[in-house]
Structure 1
Amino acid sequence: MRTILSIHDLMPDTFKRVLNIISKLSDAGVPADKVYLLVVPGLSWKAEQINTLKSLQQDGYQLAGHGWHHHIHKKTSLFHYLHSAFISRNVAEHLSLSSAEISDMIEMNYGWFLENGMSAPELYVPPAWAMGSIRRSELIKLPFRYYEYSSGLLDVEENSFKSLALTGYEADRLWRVPVLWGWNELNTRLLSRNRPLRISIHPYDFEYYLSDFIIDHIRLSDQHLSCADIFA
């Protein structure tokens, strides 16, 4: 099985948990340059945390953009209300924004890394994989090369989209356990036979009901991939 690993929601208040997850992945034999760390820039970052991000990037870890506040400020559509209730809660920042507002957020996200002395990231992942109203023709004008959707990965430089399988482990409530378990079974046993599998980890996942499956799924991998590898 070919896999691409990401740790979501790297924020000041999840920083220590994410570092612990990074350690677990290293112990499981995952190369640093095949791990994406999804950073939320628009929060109160401490200088020592910024310095640690720089060190992680220097060690090979792939930093990626992930929204701005990771929290919504408005809901303007029935779809967003339903999406929030059943999938994203209050984190899908893009969904009630205009295309221009989404473009501005993505530009701010990209600029934050450069302003803080880090190398430019290549990947942007909207919170909850909800890209919102922005079209792919608009994403081409923005600075990131790769954009991740719930269904797969877009390379705007090559104008190419790859469908990818996906696992998730945010089973913090009992009703989520059978839903996510079934989803993960479908993706690890069936969908990933013909396409790479994204193993997406959130900061609290090792404290939730499906925690035992995370390392098991990682150990199924015989090839860890980067975005560039996906399109090679």
Structure 2
Amino acid sequence: MGAISRAQLADMPFRLFETLTGVFDARAQRMHSLPLAGFEADTPLREWLLRGVNHVNWRRACHTGQPLRLGIHPDDLSLRLGHRVIPMAEAVSASLTYPDMARGYPAVTASG
């Protein structure tokens, strides 16, 4: 998000800001650390890195009971990890909305 302070974020018209490491609640000044799986792999190196990161974050979600965020972009289905998007989305047993985050998310577990 660049060089912006948490105080500056609190002055914005938005409450929640999603980052690679989680969701920041600017009103509560609290970071909700949440694992993320991504699929934007357009090169062999990015595919290799994302496979590793996705595996670690999937296991983290399963082990801790934290929700796993799926970062899906418009062209992901046609990229190198496109075949993993649907199976991972189908493995999700519950969803978490931004209003849930604002209230303090309930326990949601990934299966696997």
Instruction: Provide the TM-score with structure 1 as the length reference.
Output: 0.42
Corresponding position of 1:176: 46
**Secondary structure in 1 matching 2:32:** strand
Q: Which of 46, 56, 77 is the aligned partner of 1:186?
A: 56
Q: Which of 216, 220, 231 is the aligned partner of 2:87?
A: 216
Deviations for 1:21-77, whole angstroms, at most 9, x for unmatched residues? xxxxxxxxxxxxxxxxxxxxxxxxxxxxxxxxxxxxxxxxxxxxxxxxxxxxxxxxx
Letter in 1 for 2:84: F
Corresponding position of 1:152: 22
- Misfit runs of 4+, over 3 Å: none
Equivalent-residue separation in structure 2 for 1:137 and 1:203 (angstroms): 32
Q: Any unmatched runs of 5+ in structure 2?
A: 106-112
Letter in 1 for 2:18: E
Q: CA deviation at 1:150?
A: 1.2
Equivalent-residue separation in structure 2 for 1:217 and 1:137 (angstroms): 36
Greater gyration radius: 1
Q: CA deviation at 1:192?
A: 1.0
Report percent identity of matched pairs.
34
Instruction: Provide the TM-score with structure 2 as the length reference.
Output: 0.83
Letter in 1 for 2:61: S
Aligned Cα root-mean-square deviation (Å)? 1.2
Equivalent-residue separation in structure 1 for 2:13 and 2:88 (angstroms): 33
Deviations for 1:104-135, whole angstroms, at most 9, x for unmatched residues? xxxxxxxxxxxxxxxxxxxxxxxxxxx11101
Q: How many residues align?
A: 101
Q: CA deviation at 1:204?
A: 1.0
Equivalent-residue separation in structure 2 for 1:187 and 1:202 (angstroms): 18
Equivalent-residue separation in structure 1 for 2:48 and 2:29 (angstroms): 37
- Maintained 8 Å contact 2:38/2:54: yes
Deviations for 1:138-169, whole angstroms, at most 9, x for unmatched residues? 11111101111111101122222200100111
Q: How is 1:71-82 mapped onto 2 (pairs within 5 angstroms)?
A: none
Q: How is 1:41-190 mapped onto 2 (pairs within 5 angstroms)?
A: 131-188=1-58, 190=59
